[in-house]
Amino acid sequence: MADDVFKALADPTRRRILDELTERGGQTLFEICGRLATKHGLGMSRQAVSQHLAVLEAADLVRTRREGRYKFHDLNTEPLERITTRWLRPDVPESTP
């Protein structure tokens, strides 16, 4: 699972998406696309951003929830916490999901 997290974090666009979700969680795909375009100058299609979000979801870094016809994306820090615990606090046993 840590490999999925590292692969997801390897891409600068995905890191920017995580930055945006850190700043303000619960964003729709449309909102994320708008923020990437205005704040970072990334004119990407919704499909491209959606593919990046799928990689982040597969790594469990992003969780989604549906409300009506809207799908909201939120940052999940648990995978990052497991990684940092692994190296920064090796005396704490790793929990297996």
Domains defined along the chain, listed by start: 2-88 (1.10.10.10)
Q: What is the pLDDT of residues 53-66, one digit of tens each?
A: 999 999 999 999 99
Nearest to 11 by CA among 34, 71, 65, 44: 44
The pTM score is 0.84
pLDDT at 32: 97
- Give residue 28's identity as a one-letter amino acid code: T
Q: What is the pLDDT of residues 42-91, one digit of tens each?
A: 889 999 999 999 999 999 999 999 999 999 999 999 999 998 888 877 67
